[in-house]
Structure 1
């Protein structure tokens, strides 16, 4: 693993840099991409730096849209992955065209096919968000932050920490936010955009809460296409609402399993009470962070096996 200084030296050597995130980007993925892009543009104005992917369109007018880049540019670039463990999980598969690779991430590497066989990477699972890691990188290397960079990184930290509620939010998280606040960020306007919800989404969340099942101290919901399509939601959208069931029954661990219409279930596992879900996720074709991970299963019965394994998870000591 590279140090912050070594990663900076790698970046300094390249004239073109592309920044990539995972499929179905969330606030941390998008915020990390835009934040790192703006840091590098501000400190190295002669470099060409691009953030590639679908981002979060609702934030484009408030923060920034993503960039359109041709394959020739990608082929000449250093590709930096953020908030994603390996190349195969990157949203835009053109990433494989890049000449060199680096990575910032806060996910524990999944040992099943998620190797990153390149020396220029920094992974710290102790960080609540990849955006926090990137802020630390900038702070350590005395890099200038613009207001846009700071607001993008704040967005990443705010969303991945669940509004600073999730287990793993700590003193370092607030120290990073304190430094970002010095750049004049406007958290309220960002939060207002992030919290906008359609009536369909509100009704879908209520539906999920009504479907909660419980096994010991694990709560879970299993739904199929008819459930989410009736609310006008896609498979990808439906799977993002796991936190809607967080407060039901006050569980140690809560899970949402969504079937894609072809027999595969996307599982989202969460714990806000210190119970590590990542080892179980790895066992069921997935991975992620210690307290927030995903699975891929192929039957409702297998989803229940995930739940059964989670009932045996022990709380980590503080």
Structure 2
């Protein structure tokens, strides 16, 4: 019923503006732009925009539109892949005629005239393809470009289908998407290539990480270290999974110094860590979350909480 309401809203508006979260990843881009291409192919007479600050490492997927303020007048606004309103990129999202939320994260903020949240989906991109499959009888059209974007989003949020969020449905959708004509080798190369300066920072991390007896690890990347290797804070996303294969590590955190605060990237192989993120202006999935700290002292609080969830996890595991 929810998906039918979304389709009805899309049909009923001549202008549609699609948002996603700040600091975008492939799923944010894939769901946002994939949905836009799906709508454009199905309803070529409609004006469809995608908005948000561009991310240079994702320019190979798509580039954002310049959206004038007047476009929001009477428009349908759709926000993809964003659990809380503070993280919506381009805060004009509430200026339209109607608001829809499409997301696969646990609910943080209850917003939107229509909300479709599926925490069992591997990605919001998977949900966009589900929308297409269930509504294709209603005339929805999926072209190669939309397929490329949706596939990239699914691959990105499943870690190339390695994460536990990958389901039978995920793989069946991926199997359908690879039948479309787009350059998968190029897509993978662009998504996972490592610049030399980032590779050198990876070496630094591997030489300096520690594993605490409780099973957690933290990595501090202050401005001095980032400058030494010439790595921008946004590029540290390529380091997040690095500690996942290390024996003895159950959960880990990267503390990345940015312009105004310290970005916290949390990952886990068992302990639930989105509760830790929620305590520090963040959120996300049970095994993959993000937060922010106002000082290095606060990162010590995050580390202490990470220690506690690892202790509790070990107790539960016996």
State the TM-score, normalizing by the size of structure 1. Answer: 0.89
Which ranges in structure 1 are unaligned for 5 or more consecutive residues? none
Alignment of 1:1-318 (within 5 A): 3-60=2-59, 62-110=60-108, 114-116=109-111, 118-142=112-136, 143-215=140-212, 216-238=214-236, 241-260=239-258, 264-271=261-268, 273-297=269-293, 298=295, 299=297, 300-314=299-313
Q: For this pair of structures, how many residues does the alignment match?
A: 309
Q: Which moved more, 1:301-310 or 1:42-51?
A: 301-310
**Structure with the higher helix share, 1 or 2:** 2
Distance 1:292 1:59, change over 3 A: closer
1:39–1:151 distance in 2 versus 1, CA, 3 Å: same
> Could you report, residue by residue, the CA deviation over 1:276-311 in whole angstroms, capped at 9, with x for unpaired residues?
222222233310112211122332421322322331
Query: Quick check: 1:284–1:306 contact (8 Å CA) kept in 2?
Result: no
Report the secondary structure of 1:314's partner residue.
helix
Task: Tell me if structure 1 keeps the 8 A contact 2:198–2:235.
Answer: no
Q: TM-score w.r.t. structure 2 length? A: 0.89
Q: Which moved more, 1:94-103 or 1:43-52?
A: 94-103
Alpha-carbon offset, residue 240 of structure 1: 5.3
Comparing 247-256 and 16-25, the one that deviates more? 247-256
Cα distance in 2 for partners of 1:227, 1:59 equals: 24
SS in 2 for 1:230: helix
Taking the aligned partners of 1:149 and 1:56, their CA distance within structure 2 comes to 19
How big is the shift at 1:220? 2.1
What stretches of structure 1 move > 4 A for 4+ residues in a row? Answer: none
**Which is further off, 18-27 or 68-77?**
68-77
CA apart distance, 1:86? 3.1
Per mean C-alpha deviation after superposition, the further-off stretch among 85-94 and 144-153 is 85-94
Residues 79, 179 of structure 1: CA spacing in aligned structure 2 closer, same or farther, 3 A cutoff?
same
Given that 1:212 and 1:248 are in contact with CA atoms closer than 8 Å, whether structure 2 keeps it comes out as no
Q: Report how far residue 54 of structure 1 moved.
A: 3.2
1:249 Cα shift?
2.9
Structure-1 separation of matches of 2:155 and 2:168: 14
Query: Matched residue of 2:211: which SS?
Result: strand
Q: List per-residue Cα deviations over 1:243-262 (Å, max 9, x = no partner).
A: 12222335222221223365
* Aligned equivalents of 1:71, 1:241: Cα separation in 2: 37
Structure 1 distance, partners of 2:311, 2:276, is: 10
Structure 2 unaligned regions, length at least 5: none
Preserved CA contact (<8 Å) 1:135 1:176? yes
Supply the distance in 1 between the matched residues of 2:83 and 2:312 (Cα, whole angstroms). 24
Aligned mates of 1:261, 1:70 — CA distance in 2: 28
Query: Helix, strand or coil: the match of 1:148?
Result: helix
